Structure 1
Amino acid sequence: MASNSIVLITGANTGLGLETVKALLRSPKAYTILLGGRSLNKANAAAIEAQTEFPQSPSVVKTIQVDIEDDDSISKALDHVANEYGRVDVLINNAGGQFDQQFHVGNMMMREMWNKSWNVNTTGTCILTHTFVPLLLKSSDPRLIFITSGMSTLAESDNAAIKLNQSPAKGWPKKELAVAAYRSSKTGMNMMMREWTRILREDGVKVWCISPGFLATGLGGSQDINKRRGALDPSIGANLVRDVVEGARDQDIGKVVRRDGVQPW
């Protein structure tokens, strides 16, 4: 059984997930990083990229195929990790998607878009977590992390200084791009995190949501467009995830954490 901490990251072949892999590779601590992706080929390419960028790292990157919308894929991933590593020390639920635009541009019907938003961001994430809990409980310091969003907070949703919270002009139809399905699913994830905190408290599992900030990833559009809108480099969010993994936010267990403190509900 590996002596390194075993860290499983879903959706890790791109965006924040891949930057989190790189952040862990930059750490002086040794990890066995399980880079999860729906496509094993893309996961393998990302792992090679990350390991090549940090050849002196004490950590190692392995790949695993996992699609959180596919229960059979999740079960096979569990069997693989159980047989190869015997436990998971840190589970980072990073896989997610923002599909609201797909309705607005005509690629999805509204029901399909809403259902997929919840299926990926909330339901699939919960099923994967439920499946992997037995391996988390074999860790001496189990950590369970969910990647949420700054758009998920109810308390700040009426802050009109944020463009997404501003009301459009009266009349119908509304032409402004809405992200109601994405926001709602991530708010649901926050409550799911609270439930996992309650359920696993006596087992000693430390649980958080992490709100990494507006990052220049491909989520909800192109990287370049998000960057022009003021998005931060994804490595900034990834460093926050690494801080949580390494104990810097242990005082905030059961909360939604962000760089400047705790995100209000």
Structure 2
Amino acid sequence: MSNSIVFITGANTGLGLEIVKALFRSSKAYTVLLGGRSIENAENAACQVREEYPDSSAIAVPIQVDIEDDESIRTACDYIRSHYARVDVLINNAGASFDQQWNRDRDGGPTMREVWNRSWNVNTTGTHILTYTCAPLLLQSDDPRLLFITSGTSTLAESDNVVLGVNRSPEKGWPKSSLMIPAYRSSKTGMNMMMREWTRILKEDRVKTWCVSPGVLATGLGGDQEMNKRMGAIDPIIGAEFVRDVVEGARDQDVGRVIRRGDIQPW
């Protein structure tokens, strides 16, 4: 039986790279299309994984894909079509948080509008366009799976839970020293609705679709790994193995939901 074809965006660093490694540790055989904004970064990551897991039955293939660039998206999907003819699992992992740039440098850094526009362009719009372009390849699979990596901060129902630091209100007065991450978390809430749309659109094509909320991870998201650790971030390996479990069928009963380890994340 041929390897399952898994296309992961943003796979050369952070959670994406850990997902690749988790698949390499699996007893199942995968061809992992390792997507990176630059081909050099993707190639370096692929070499790193091959060296770390030399006995794995998995294969890592570097793919250049920048989800802010429609031509890059088309080129990547055309390459996959010509070489593999299908995608069994699409993991929309590429994402970014830009709020911290504005919080750190409100005079010389990006404007608030630029932060909000780019947050939505990367996390929601670019992800939607990548999915749309790759959808015909998913439909060629016997067991197509579509995953969107979302955030625990995206839930509306739990947004008043002040145990989470991101939900605590700053002291009264103006200006505020920090607005935390409103652009990032709003764009991920938008992603959750986008997942519901793809669930509806691809329902009759038997595509299993989820948003996966892997928890607060100690990655470089937002450019500050130490800050993420101070917020209680966990080892990204834990999040990556959760994603692998979803790929391998552990949460098939929860299709169309935002899932996290152990339960379903409220809307």
TM-score (norm 1): 0.98
Q: Residues of 2 paired with 1:160 and 1:224: CA distance?
A: 21
What value does the CA root-mean-square deviation take over the aligned residues? Answer: 1.0
Matched, 1:153 2:155: yes
Q: Residues of 1 paired with 2:264 and 2:235: CA distance?
A: 21
Matched, 1:247 2:246: no
Q: Residues of 1 paired with 2:225 and 2:183: CA distance?
A: 21
* Alignment match of 1:125 (pick from 110, 124, 127): 127
Please tell me the residue identity of whatever aligns with 1:118. Answer: W
Counterpart position of 1:80: 79
Matched, 1:137 2:139: yes
CA apart distance, 1:176 = 2.5
Please tell me the residue identity of whatever aligns with 2:16. Answer: G
Q: Structure 1 vs Structure 2: percent identity of aligned residues?
A: 68
Counterpart position of 2:37: 38
| Cα 1:76–1:16 shift into 2, 3 Å | same
Counterpart position of 1:162: 164
How many residues are matched?
Answer: 264
Q: Residues of 2 paired with 1:234 and 1:176: CA distance?
A: 26
Q: Residues of 2 paired with 1:166 and 1:222: CA distance?
A: 20
CA apart distance, 1:160 = 1.3
Q: Residues of 2 paired with 1:76 and 1:164: CA distance?
A: 38
Counterpart position of 1:217: 219
Counterpart position of 1:95: 94
TM-score (norm 2): 0.97
Counterpart position of 2:263: 261
Q: Residues of 2 paired with 1:132 and 1:80: CA distance?
A: 11
Counterpart position of 2:55: 56
Please tell me the residue identity of whatever aligns with 2:185. Answer: R
Long gaps (5+) in structure 1:
none
Deviations 1:84-113 (A, max 9, x none): 101000000000000011122231001111
Deviations 1:16-61 (A, max 9, x none): 0000000000000000000000110011001111111111111110
Please tell me the residue identity of whatever aligns with 2:73. Answer: I
Please tell me the residue identity of whatever aligns with 1:239. Answer: E
Counterpart position of 2:176: 174
* Alignment match of 1:185 (pick from 184, 187, 205): 187
Residues 165 and 231, structure 2, Cα contact 8 Å, conserved in 1: no
Deviations 1:89-145 (A, max 9, x none): 000000000001112223100111100000000000000000000000000000000
Q: Residues of 2 paired with 1:87 and 1:162: CA distance?
A: 41
CA apart distance, 1:221 = 3.0
CA apart distance, 1:263 = 0.4
Hey, which bits of structure 1, 4+ residues long, moved more than 3 A? none
Q: Residues of 2 paired with 1:8 and 1:126: CA distance?
A: 15
Q: Residues of 2 paired with 1:119 and 1:169: CA distance?
A: 31
Q: Residues of 1 paired with 2:23 and 2:245: CA distance?
A: 10
Please tell me the residue identity of whatever aligns with 2:29. Answer: A
